[in-house]
Amino acid sequence: MDVTQEESARELLEVVPIVMRDIRSEMRSRRSAELTVPQFRTLAFVNRKEGPSLSEVADHMGLTPPSTCRLVDGLIARGMMTRQGHPTDRRRLRLIVTPRGAKILEISRSGTLACLAEKLNGVTAQDRGIIVKAMGVLRSVFAESQRKNRRKVRWCMSQ
């Protein structure tokens, strides 16, 4: 099935927000873990990267530094990560996920995954394959554009 850009863009704009709403409300309802989507993504990134700076997190999230700072603040306030000094550059910091943060991350991830997986139960294995394939394509398209956005933001900020 060959499809125009416009057609696929229309579908994305219509369906992605619906799926997103569902993911968000599932995370919110998982009381034991209580992570929002941005918190979850931040925690997962810091956990994977082991000691990234704030800028690196902002870059990955596509957020401005102040927004990222607040996001991180919340996670630190709830004992899920800590700030540490950078060995050579004292302006920078290194973010580290605490054992408690790692545990919460795991609970949140597995719970949300289980919910999503259950919903995908009625979908054929082949259609699931199509979903995975589509996600791969989308990842390559949109992961790249994040960096661009980030640079633009930086540029706007300094005029």
Residue 85 tokens read as: 């000094």
Q: How far is the CB of 8 from DNA (least distance, A)?
A: 24
Q: How far is the CB of 140 from a second copy (least distance, A)?
A: 8
Q: How far is the CB of 136 from DNA (least distance, A)?
A: 23
Say if CB 70 and CB 16 are below 8 A apart: no
Residues that bind a second copy (CB under 8 A): 1-23, 25, 37, 41, 61-62, 109, 112-114, 116-123, 125-139, 141-143, 145-146, 149
Length of the chain: 159
Burial 132-145 (b: 16+ CB within 10 A, else e): eeeeeeeeeeeeee
Stretch of 62-70, 96-104, 120-128, 140-148 contacting DNA, by CB under 7 A: 62-70
Burial 4-36 (b: 16+ CB within 10 A, else e): eeeeeeeeeeeeeeeeeeeeeebbeebeebebe
Binding residues for DNA, rule CB under 7 A, total 37
Site residues (CB under 7 A) for DNA?
21, 24-25, 28, 36-39, 53-56, 61-67, 69-74, 83, 86, 88-93, 153, 156-158
